Amino acid sequence: MTHRLFVAIKPPPHVIDRLIDTMEGIDNARWQSEEQLHLTLRFAGEVDTPLANDLAAALEQIRAPAFDLEIRDVGHFEKKGKPHTLWAGIAPSPALLSLQRRVESACRSAGIAPETRVFAPHVTLARLSGNAGAIAPFLVEHAALRTAPFRVERFFLYESTLTPQGSQYDPVVAYPLR
């Protein structure tokens, strides 16, 4: 059996509510559901059960303190010059970068290939296809998006299941920050 796994931080309900309040105004955007909003620390991909167990055990060894994060601004990622993902940014955080490096190290020690992409901390708000409406008005309207700092006291190993309605994300293990 294979599992599609990723490691992430789930924002608290008041931050999720604030993000949901911004999620409108772009025709044909596939807005994320409340359950889908997260900050990915590392996408592990499709792994078999033994490797999934090794990853869970490696993540258990991470020791890091709790820390504060805040949402700051909005933006988008492009492929071939066309926007495909709309996101809320994360204010710079040395503690977040340290945790992400530890998660990356745990993934490698479990046998998962190194991540080649640069870590760009964000919370995905919407997926955009070629028929999505203009994003510029949304980006202008929400350019000053901010949340009060929120405490990160745990991170999660999630399993992602692809469905016709979109991805379903289920937390498998919670890892406390001490």
Query: What are the tens digits of pLDDT across the range 7-22?
Result: 999 999 999 999 999 9
Residue 87 and residue 77 in contact, taking contact as beta carbons nearer than 8 Å: yes
Strand partners, 151: 68
Q: Exactly one of 3, 76, 122, 142 is catalytic; which is it?
A: 122
Tell me if residue 122 is catalytic: yes
**Domain locations in the chain?**
2-176
Tell me if residue 38 is catalytic: yes
Q: Exactly one of 38, 76, 84, 142 is catalytic; which is it?
A: 38
**Running along the chain, 178 residues long, what does each successive block of 10 average in pLDDT?**
97 97 96 96 97 98 98 96 96 98 98 96 96 96 96 98 88 96
pLDDT digits (tens, 9 = 90+) for 74-95: 999 999 989 999 999 999 999 9
Domain 2-176 falls under CATH 3.40.50.720 = no
| pTM, two decimal places | 0.95
Placement of tokens 């409108």 in the chain? 24
